Amino acid sequence: MNKAQAQLDSTSKEKAEILLRAAVAKKASNPLLIRLYGLTVLTDYFLIVSAGSAKHVTAIAEAVIEDARSRKIVRYSSEGVHQGHWALLDYGDVIVHIFHQPIREFYDLEGLWAEAPREPIPEDILAELESETEEPEEEEEWSEK
């Protein structure tokens, strides 16, 4: 890796960690940072997190969008934010995937990119995740009676 590539990677990873912190602040769980640099031209990193319900997916996505906006991190597109099953936020060199856990298991992006290296999650974020004692409540099905 040359000096320019190392700098680009460092900047991309820093951006991914900023976006991860915003997601964890809204109680995102099971974070995974997959390094795709050199494996695809699509992006440098996938950041994948889980949510406990459809509303939780939306809340996490909106928090990440707002935090990124406040830091002037450019978002190129977003999909699924208000559908609540899988939100995709495209920040160019970092693509954030926020899944309702059953949807994450079904699509298994981790398995599709099994050959890609996993980046360690910063210790302070891991400590914050471990200190969380409450799981997000599962969304109840609404039915008209």
Domain harbouring 35, CATH code: 3.30.460.10
Contact yes or no for 29/130 (Cβ under 8 A):
no
Which tokens hold the place of 76? Answer: 């190129």
Contact yes or no for 96/67 (Cβ under 8 A):
no
Range in 44-48, 88-92, 98-102, 121-125 with the lowest mean pLDDT: 121-125
pLDDT tens track for 52-82: 999 999 999 999 999 999 999 999 999 999 9
CA dist 101 and 51 (Å) reads 6
pLDDT for residue 7 is more than 50: no
Q: What is the pLDDT of residue 99?
A: 97
**Residue 102: which domain range?**
11-119
Nearest Cα neighbor of 26 from 62, 1, 54, 2 is: 62
> Looking at the 3D structure of the chain, how many domains does it have?
1
Is residue 25 domain-resident?
A: yes
Average pLDDT of the chain to the nearest whole number: 87
pTM of the model: 0.83
* Element at 49 (helix H, strand E): strand 45-51
Higher pLDDT, 28 or 3: 28
